[in-house]
């Protein structure tokens, strides 16, 4: 039914879409937020997982940057309710960043 893991929930899908359209510095701030929230919720990735992720064909927009790929791997592993919470924080952060120019 869904092609992408983040399309299961409209809030998560919107956050990912908005991040994609943000400049790289804002994307990195969002990535840091995702990683921190994931670690706060007990998700921790070993470096091997992230390194292994770069051995396959890079298909998604966030795969070309290791920091972004890591952040999205963290987000993907979170339970859906926490994904939604983090996504709302990202959306709010991006709106604030946009209004501040």
If we measure between CA atoms, which residue out of 69, 77, 4 comes closest to residue 38? 77
The two three-digit tokens of residue 38, written as one number: 């994931």
CA separation for the pair 32, 87 (Å, rounded): 13
Average pLDDT, the chain: 87
pLDDT digits (tens, 9 = 90+) for 2-43: 688 899 999 999 999 999 999 999 999 999 999 999 999 999
Instruction: Provide the residue ranges of all domains of the chain, joining segments of one domain with +.
Output: 5-99
């Amino acid at each position: 039914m869904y092609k992408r893991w983040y399309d299961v929930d409209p809030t998560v899908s919107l956050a990912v879409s908005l991040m994609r359209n943000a400049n790289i510095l804002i994307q990195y701030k969002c990535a840091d937020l995702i990683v921190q929230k994931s670690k706060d919720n007990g998700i921790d990735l070993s470096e091997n997982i992230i390194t292994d992720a770069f051995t396959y064909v890079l298909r998604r927009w966030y795969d070309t940057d290791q920091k972004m790929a890591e952040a999205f791997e963290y987000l993907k592993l979170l339970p859906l309710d926490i994904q939604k919470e983090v996504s709302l924080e990202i959306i709010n952060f991006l709106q604030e960043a946009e209004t501040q120019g």
